[in-house]
Structure 1
Amino acid sequence: MKVLIVGAGGQGGACASILARQEAVEEIRLVDLKEETAKAVADKIGSSKVKTGSVNATDPDDVAKAAEGVDVVVDMVMPWMVTYVMKGALKAGANYINTAFDAPYWDEFLEGKSVDELTLCKEFKEAGLTALFGCGFAPGMTNVLARKFANKLDTVDSIKMRIGKANLVPGEGPYDWVLRPWNPGWSPKQALVDCASSTYALEDGKYVKYPPFGGIEMCDFPEPVGTLPVTHHSHEEIYSMPATFKGVKDLDFKYYMMYQPAMFYASGLCSQEKVKVGDVEVAPIDVVAAMVPPPQNNIFGATEEELAEADKRAFIELIVEVSGEKDGKKVTYKANCPKMNAPGPELKRLYGTALVYVALPLAIGTTILGDTDLKKGIVFSDELDPDDFLKRMMDTGYPYKWKESVIEG
């Protein structure tokens, strides 16, 4: 199996490191706008399977040239570039996978289009190719777990997803978090765009629009994350899941309130409109994003001691809750998923990186695309066999456990 990874940043580089350790993968072409970025990552991975190059991800012909002869194109650049990379994969006759998507797909779902009517779905289907959308952590694990639970129900009425995070710093006072440096772990600009965007929730079968940080409520996460305020958050699942989970009436995605981005938004610093400062015009969001360390700095740099310390201090919880009916009775299935990047030292020894929460589901989706005859056209991660997906993930040696519970009535 030959793979092209477009984008050597945080998750793209981590995915390359994981795939390089899979027997089924014989070649990985890791490309970025600047080849030196890809080469620096390849040198850290240290595998002869990894070849590097440069590519302009917004030029389908350039992508197609880089993808010549590969089985799967892995798209790890900005979500707004999706259609460019897809067209390149299509020209090269390769399957395609991403972890995130937005324009034009969010709007197309809001317009009521079916999956078959989405941009480039027809072209992929006619070419006998599959484009697998949203196969990371969220979207990705959220979808797979939701499908696992939905398969146990006769009907699905509601899907709720919540993410919470906590950082415990020894000796820190109750308000010292105000001065903590902020780093989302993925593209800082994209994270700010997401936080500052209006979003939707499905309520009684209809989309309802919410402003940024709207719909605030308190959510009880397992300790040490604890009870946190969560708000509606612009996310792929909101748009795609109503099309793939037939009959669902209520669906939302809420993220813990990230205080620094909330303050940036309230201060106008998430604006993409340029303002004049002296003789220079600059968008406030670009200034903020430029001050945040780039995600690729986190792929391989941490030592085992630093990773072990992070396991004690940094925590994240994902809740996926699916409600419906089974044999005429109301049933709710719930998954509590702790931090996927732990235990850090063991993950680094296993995959070459501890940054696996997006990259490992992505690598699993890539191998599925390579050896499974999936539906042609555009498919979503919740249309995969969830049991097969989770088994493949755990069969890599992944030392991870999550808790599932059932509530009747």
Structure 2
Amino acid sequence: MKILVIGSGGREHTLCWKISQSKKVNKIYCAPGNGGTKEVAENINIAANDIDGLLEFALKNKIDLTVVGPEEPLVLGIVDKFEDKGLKIFGPNKDCAQLEGSKEFSKKFMDKHGIPTAKYKSFTEYYDAKKALDEFSYPLVIKADGLCLGKGVFICNTREEAEDVLKNILKDRIFGVEGNKIVIEEYLDGVEASLLCFVTNGKIIPLESAKDYKKIYEGDKGPNTGGVGCYSPSPLFTSKLQEKINKSVLSKIIKGFEVDGLDFKGILFIGFMIVNNEPKVLEFNVRFGDPETEVLLPRLESDIVDLFIKTIDKSLQESDLLWSNKHCVTVILTSDGYPDKYSKGHEITIGELDDSIILFHNGTKYDEEKLVTNGGRVLSVTSLDKGLKQARENIYNNINKIDFIGSKYRVDIAKE
């Protein structure tokens, strides 16, 4: 088979790495890819949001399966366009992708189908939104409705902060059309958790659990990031909590898809806040998470290409997913200044890493023959071992063998 993976981050490198282990595959392309995907795939210089360019490439090269990494092409309707041409593609269609593409759409879906979530109201006009602040207590959350590269969510502790955020989004248009609408939500105080699931043919099949770290500094301090570390499995997902999630969330999502005529095929990423041991849904994503992918796929023992094909063909069963009992940890090396301003183009030197280390590239590229930084999150240093402590030690015994100007990382990932 010839496989096309779309995207350029750590998630896509991990997908290429896992796909390369399938005996069914003899060629992998990655568009546009990065310095790491180059090791297991042929990088193709087509942007992830260039739907027509990707479609032309897939048709010309007789691609047997396309796997979509990031959310933007899904929201733009890449699945619909590929399927119209008879191409196999893994990911939800444009209608289903609205669950991530529009915060209001997802909140309305939750409300309609009784899925526990925070109280909310949505607005398009600044003065209407400003007036509605009186209906919420502080802190509260304001979200731009569309895709904002992870920067569209604001926790406001005072009315003054909230008014400033509303002005920035609705009047100053800092997110352009993605901020044409905003959602004001009550703030949920609890423990954040996430669950990735395969969805197909009226079934929702959870993957193994993972815990990620979003804050840039040790002790979960500082601004949110796209994720700077992760481990799997997570002790938070006890059988009791999983039972509650199955009953109050997963069963209602599947029923909601049926009622609303949403033929969801792909990955549904559910972001939770666990409040007093009760799960409430913060958001939906419609693709693999990053860095969750970097710790889940090393633990997956099934042929991932089989899982993709069976999801598309609607024949996937829970028994198709086989998992290792080992623990997996990833620690992400970031550029100095991330998640705010940072510089790129710094040469990366990698010493001789132990066999216990798997290195996934997030933001790298080759400048002629030199591997250089090309993003805020640069490399995911990953280890799979029999215990969490050992996997963690493997990483911290090796991470200093990797160097570039401005290299940063947290030292407390998986410490608990």
Give the strand-richer structure, 1 or 2: 2
Q: What TM-score do the two structures reach when normalised by structure 1?
A: 0.37
Normalized against structure 2, the TM-score is what?
A: 0.36
Higher relative contact order (CA 8 A, sep 6+): 1
Q: Which has the higher helix share?
A: 1
